[in-house]
A and B are shown apart, each in its own frame.
Chain A
Amino acid sequence: MTNITNTASSTNQQLKEAYFTASQGQLIWQRFKRNKSALAGAWVLIILILSGIFSPFLTPYDATIAGRDKGYLNGAPQVPSFCDDNGCSIRPFVYTYERSRSFKTNFRWVSEEKVELEDRRYLTFFSRGMEYTFLGIKFDRHLFGVDKGMVHIFGTDSTGKDIYSRTLTAINTSMAVGTIGVLIAFFLALVIGGVSGYYGGKIDSVLQMVTDTVRTIPNIPLFMALAAFIPDTWSSEERFFFISLVLGLIGWTTLARRIRTHLLSERNQEYVLAAQLCGASPSHVIRRHLLPSFTSYIIVDLVISFPYMILSETALSFIGLGLKDPVNSLGVMLQNVTSADVLLNYQWYFIPVIFFIVLVLAFVFVGDGLRDAADPYADTNK
């Protein structure tokens, strides 16, 4: 009997010890795991990001004009099926398609799947297709393809580009823009917030004025004003980097404020004084002593600011000041749904919109979960 209570109390002791010796990051992770919706969001997010990164492999065709299907413009999605009137097969298959126009379609050219029972086109897996470079190595294997012709599970757009391929590539681009933007914003926030919080006093007041001013100007109009600098002659890569830069140049204010507030409360601690007495330079104290004390909070803030970056990119691209059509970004994909023609005739253009909403929602869920988990008072409140 005593034995049992002993082991129970010792595991309890161990748990307590683990709790008190855990690092900031471990504690946050512990709390985060308990939040089911945030965890689900994290899984969705990971899947989306991975499918963005591995998009060249996961998609059957090149997302640019090189991968277009001339025979299937504005084509409806082809749904692979296992069975038809000719019986079933283990391998999924699609049918061929054709372009036609008739009285029925108001004499508009329509690409349609044509059900010819004899002409089944089986999906092939790990099939050879177009070459692509991934991590500097050339590959030609794709997750799936079709043995004859081409397959478009999300349909095609007006130039015959595969919407499925475009969507996954777009996730990649938008994430890349977001990442670069967040990194630039992070760097600026670190420098400005760090200096402002560490020195305090007059420097702090001046820097806070600047931060507040930038915060007061509405972001999107400011983005637009900056993006308007882009000359038409720039290549899509240059545009891409400029847009990321613009997003970063404006998005730093919230994070800078947080870093400053934290530093202001930390800088009078004894360990900072000790470091200063040892002759450490301000930048050393900030980098090696102050920032590590709240790295996890910075990470949380970065995740929270991510969806705003993606939203800003889509907004910019949407009004035509951001990325433009040869580049596949979520904003460009959204821009393509802006006509009544699409809603009436080509509803599959909306599929990327779903991906976009799910991506942003997943980020918001994860960000919210992380914020709750990073709140040191979360446990005491409940």
Chain B
Amino acid sequence: MLQFSKFFAVRAMLAILTLVMVSFIVFTLMELVPGDCAERYVAFKNSQGSVITPEDIQIERVRLGLDQPYVQRWGSWIINAFQGEYGNSCILRVDIAQLLGQKFWLSLGLCLSALLLAYLIAIPVGIIAATSKNAVLNNSLRLVSYLGLALPNFLLALMIMLFSTVYFGDSLTGLFSKEYRDAAWSTDRVMDFLGHAWLPIFILGWSATAFAIQTVRALMSDEIGKLYVTAAAARGVSGRRLLMRYPARHALSPIINSVGFDLNRIFNELPIVALILTLTEAGSLLIEALARSNDQQLAGAIIFMLTASIVALNFVTDIILALTDPRIRRSIVG
């Protein structure tokens, strides 16, 4: 137990340290964008007709705290970020936490469902592929997983959307029907959401599934050839019992380990899929912030939150691994 709490503490520390470094990278990126919030705000005022002098910009800078040294601003940004406060977007002039709020959780929900879908498909299919000697099955699975890479999700999304628009007259886009878009959460709204969400979940999960099948298959076929499996078979264990009790258990821990990277992969696709399917969630806000309005505050907050959820997931999988595998508990950092 002591060992485990030590492991837990070290991992938690590492996770927080990673987040601090991520925040540094993100914050630096935000700073590097030409022009700062004060200039933008004042430029906006200028466009409203008031006359602006350099002093006004300076006053605005002081008001926003932009005159303080870099490290200090980073420090206050990250302290706020850990509390879920990201300040105001300087283009939209609304509180970012409020703007993102629900949208971010929607996105996270979509991505986690896609991840779940990927593993629900990949684990059984991967095990079957590793154990079966059927060449046709193996080769076709291989081709599917190659296509998972070569046919990027955005292309897939585009094709499905275009085909359904042309042949079914329904574009399958968006996350809500019109009447539910701004409604409060209710059973009907949830049902409506689920009716729309299956397509983005499927598309986001597409290449993750292909990758996961590859991983599961490779790990299983490595384990199946090992001596302990032969020994178990010699003792008379066979069929599904043999697979589940011996190689599958060993193949499990690297798979749990890779879940974080799969979430990373899904996040990669999120903004582009969101753009095509016109989803109204964090992914499309990110594109909006980066490609159109150059809103670095908003973009930084989104990237930070995405990364934070990956770090959190990595932390959780580490803990799960430690719970299931005593060898990992002992190694503390490794």
- The answer on a CB contact under 8 Å between A364 and B146 is yes
Which candidate, A99-107, A111-119, A209-217, A260-268, is the interface stretch facing chain B?
A209-217
Interface of B is mostly: helix
- The answer on a CB contact under 8 Å between A361 and B303 is no
State A310–B286 Cα separation when bound (angstroms).
22
CB distance from A82 to the nearest CB of B (A): 34
State A197–B172 Cα separation when bound (angstroms).
50
- The answer on a CB contact under 8 Å between B33 and A228 is yes
Residues of B within 8 A of A293 (CB): none
Interface of A is mostly: helix
| Residues A221 and B149 in contact in the complex (CB < 8 Å), given A216-B314, A319-B271 | no
Residues of B within 8 A of A22 (CB): none
Residues of B within 8 A of A321 (CB): 290-291
For A231, the closest partner residue in chain B by CB is B34
- The answer on a CB contact under 8 Å between B25 and A213 is yes
State A40–B126 Cα separation when bound (angstroms).
26
| Pick from A221, A226, A227, A353: contact of B306, CB under 8 Å | A221
- The answer on a CB contact under 8 Å between A220 and B272 is yes
CB distance from A215 to the nearest CB of B (A): 8
Residues of A within 8 A of B29 (CB): 225-226
The answer to whether the Cβ of B57 comes within 8 Å of any Cβ in the partner chain is no
Residues of A within 8 A of B286 (CB): 221, 224
For A368, the closest partner residue in chain B by CB is B146
State A354–B309 Cα separation when bound (angstroms).
36
The answer to whether the Cβ of A320 comes within 8 Å of any Cβ in the partner chain is yes
| Residues A338 and B158 in contact in the complex (CB < 8 Å), given A217-B303, A225-B290, A361-B150 | yes
State A373–B163 Cα separation when bound (angstroms).
41
Residues of A within 8 A of B58 (CB): none
| Pick from B22, B154, B165: contact of A340, CB under 8 Å | B165
Residues of B within 8 A of A343 (CB): 162-163, 165-166
The answer to whether the Cβ of B264 comes within 8 Å of any Cβ in the partner chain is yes
| Residues A218 and B290 in contact in the complex (CB < 8 Å), given A311-B152, A314-B152, A338-B158 | no
Could you name 21 residue pairs across A and B whose Cβ atoms are closer than 8 Å? A213-B18, A213-B21, A214-B25, A215-B264, A216-B314, A218-B268, A218-B303, A219-B268, A220-B268, A221-B306, A224-B271, A224-B299, A228-B299, A311-B152, A314-B152, A319-B275, A321-B290, A338-B158, A361-B150, A364-B149, A381-B225
- Taking Cβ atoms with an 8 Å cutoff, the residues of B that contact A are 17-18, 21-22, 25-26, 29, 32-34, 146-147, 149-152, 154-155, 158, 162-163, 165-166, 225, 260-261, 264, 267-269, 271-272, 275-276, 286-287, 290-291, 294, 296, 299-300, 302-303, 306-307, 310-311, 314
Q: Could you list 12 further interchain pairs (A-B, Cβ under 8 angstroms) beyond the known A214-B25, A218-B303, A315-B272?
A: A213-B18, A216-B310, A219-B264, A220-B272, A221-B267, A224-B290, A224-B291, A319-B287, A321-B291, A334-B155, A338-B158, A340-B165
